Amino acid sequence: MRLATLNDGTRDGRLVLVSPAGDHYAPAPVATLQELMEQWDALTPQLAAIAEFPEALASATLLAPLPRAWQWLDGSAFQSHGDLMDAIIGITKPKTDVPLMYQGMSDTFMASGTDARFPSEDLGIDFEGEFGVIVDAVPMGTTAAEALRHIRLVVQINDWSLRTLAGPEMKTGFGWVGAKPACAMAPYAVTPDELGDAWKDGRVCLDLLVDWNGKRFGAANGHAMGYGFHELVAHAARTRDLVAGTVIGSGTVSNANFREIGSSCIAERRGIEVLDEGEPKTAFMAFGDTVRMEAVDAAGRAPFGVLHQRVVKA
Amino acid sequence: MRLATLNDGTRDGRLVLVSPAGDHYAPAPVATLQELMEQWDALTPQLAAIAEFPEALASATLLAPLPRAWQWLDGSAFQSHGDLMDAIIGITKPKTDVPLMYQGMSDTFMASGTDARFPSEDLGIDFEGEFGVIVDAVPMGTTAAEALRHIRLVVQINDWSLRTLAGPEMKTGFGWVGAKPACAMAPYAVTPDELGDAWKDGRVCLDLLVDWNGKRFGAANGHAMGYGFHELVAHAARTRDLVAGTVIGSGTVSNANFREIGSSCIAERRGIEVLDEGEPKTAFMAFGDTVRMEAVDAAGRAPFGVLHQRVVKA
């Protein structure tokens, strides 16, 4: 199933089910995606029974599938990304046997097509292409094996980052606030089965195509997560109950052969430049720049749709 | 004005206005505190006009005044606390000219009287007594001077902390997830004017009386914040719009004469023991332990009511 949220003028929008062909939609039996997450088992049979898709999707304006969430916990599960970032930030993390994760701003997930507003170009404006999952209610202490069945939907996210603030905030130990404003979410949330073989070991095994100002910047594949999403969910639930509708992120998608396939954020490319050339060469984003992200399967299909935004001055 | 939220079986409860005498209540002209924060200017005249308080408060069961929030950003504005914590965690923070702040779990604020559930005593279960404010919508880039008028309500919070996880999580630079499960909030949210002279320079100048297992543990005063709440709000809004209903915390209330007046968390006392005796002597909380917090003014009045909880095994 593919779900989308119509912009009907309300904060949470109106949930719809997208047709198998991807060009039409039908109203969902519940108003919002948040409500669906709270009543997943009761409502999905009704969703699955929908056979008529009367409205053309082309005529609709979409919000993010989940326009706001009660909780957003973002991991950093791609080792090749983490190693590079540590190198350029100059932080030495202790070795741990648990995933890296921070709690981020969840009251807004921007829609594709909306402008991303930032106060200054001096903040080191950067995109971060990643995947995420949305869970139903996960009790405290849930194991990774149990967590897999709580992963109800998969999404694609741009975790906007302000690099000038990121390093100093990390060094306080308190994590990011200024460096991590609102994220954006690609138009469609899909059930894991919709991804077919590309959903494997709790990982989204799709290439994430990232274009900056119309030019290919990265095409890393989601298979390379050091921890699967089920392990991230279990980590998040170690000392808290996860509320239904919690979004868990993978962190920037990255592969070890980043010199060939590129990166899902500018900071990573700058890290490579530091390693290879002694200093970063690529500047961060300027006002007016655009970024486009699309995860594609072997047949060229994009299950989450296209996530594109322009950067503007707030 | 003092506001409370009745437990009516819903997740967000039912907002009520408490009588000036503090023993009765009247229904508010809006269902929830979140809705009030979104329409503060339009609704407060109706609230202020309420003169009849027909129901006895003693017969009501209360939730936290804001049982869940879209955003919870907690500062660490008391320097005497920060210095001690750094010493025992073994982290050297860079000197900064901005407040310390992390984004915490906001989907649940526990009510006074509910049990606080944790999976293990080995996690270093600790309370943190603090003050907080609830703002209406704050635009990105709001200055500290402007932020003062966005502070609509003041609350009292116990920011539960799991110390065994806190240090290792700080050292990753990602901040806390496992170490910071749900907070609790004292029963009443009050407008700043309700505090009289005790609301000064964006600070809550009240003694926060903290009792652990019935014994006085601390009585620090909120005046000693290195940054006022308005400065914390402005810091939070540097790169994001703050959604109405955002809760901003002071961090653990602490005064420099902590050896005389005690502490608002166990970790701080342990820090003092490390300084004075070379090692921590006081153990963290055990299952069955209780903590009670009450902020009192010179006349002994407690504007936020009493926040008490018992620690139990999850």
3-class secondary-structure state, position A189: strand
The residue type at B2: R
| pLDDT tops 90 at residue A64 | yes
Q: Looking at the complex, report in whole angstroms how far the Cα of residue B174 sits from the nearest Cα belonging to chain A.
A: 4
Q: What is the pLDDT of residue A309?
A: 98
B172:A96 CB<8 A: yes
3-class secondary-structure state, position B300: coil
Q: What is the pLDDT of residue B83?
A: 82
Domain ranges (residues) in chain B:
1-63, 64-313
Whole-angstrom distance, CA of residue B115 vs CA of residue A21: 50
* C-beta of residue A74 within 8 angstroms of C-beta of residue A102: yes
Q: Which long-range contacts (CB under 8 A, 24 or more apart) does A39-44 make?
A: A40/A136, A40/A152, A40/A244, A41/A136, A44/A1
Name the B residues in 188-227 with CB < 8 Å from any A CB.
Answer: none
| Per-residue pLDDT tens digits for A220-234 | 999 999 999 999 999
For residue A244, the 8-state DSSP code is T
Q: What is the pLDDT of residue A84?
A: 82
| Per-residue pLDDT tens digits for A240-292 | 999 999 999 999 999 999 999 999 999 999 999 999 999 999 999 999 999 99
pLDDT digits (tens), chain B, 314 positions? 999 999 999 999 999 999 999 999 999 999 999 999 999 999 999 999 999 999 999 888 999 999 999 999 999 999 988 888 777 777 677 777 899 999 999 999 999 999 999 999 999 999 999 999 999 999 999 999 999 999 999 999 999 999 999 999 999 999 999 999 999 999 999 999 999 999 999 999 999 999 999 999 999 999 999 999 999 999 999 999 999 999 999 999 999 999 999 999 999 999 999 999 999 999 999 999 999 999 999 899 999 999 999 999 99
**B178 near A CB under 8 A:** yes
B106:A240 CB<8 A: no
Whole-angstrom distance, CA of residue A185 vs CA of residue A153: 13
* CATH class of the structural domain B64-313: alpha beta
B103:A162 CB<8 A: no
* C-beta of residue A261 within 8 angstroms of C-beta of residue A224: no
Spell out the residues 6+ positions from residue A207 whose beta carbon is closer than 8 angstroms to its own: A219, A220, A221, A295, A296
pLDDT band at A92 (very low <50, low <70, confident <90, very high): confident
Q: Is the ipTM of this complex over 0.85?
A: yes
| pLDDT tops 90 at residue A83 | no
Q: What is the pLDDT of residue A305?
A: 97
Pick from A71, A176, A179: CB nearest B105: A71
Residues in chain B within 8 Å Cβ distance of A73:
177
Pick from B101, B141, B175: CB nearest A102: B175
B238:A178 CB<8 A: yes
Q: Which two tokens stand for residue B133?
A: 């404010």
Q: Nearest residue of B to residue A76 by CA position?
A: B174
Interface A-B, measured as beta-carbon pairs within 8 A, has a size of 134
**How confident is the model over A51-55, as a mean pLDDT?**
97
Residues pairing with B16 in the sheet: B4, B27
* C-beta of residue B194 within 8 angstroms of C-beta of residue B244: no
**A22 near B CB under 8 A:** no
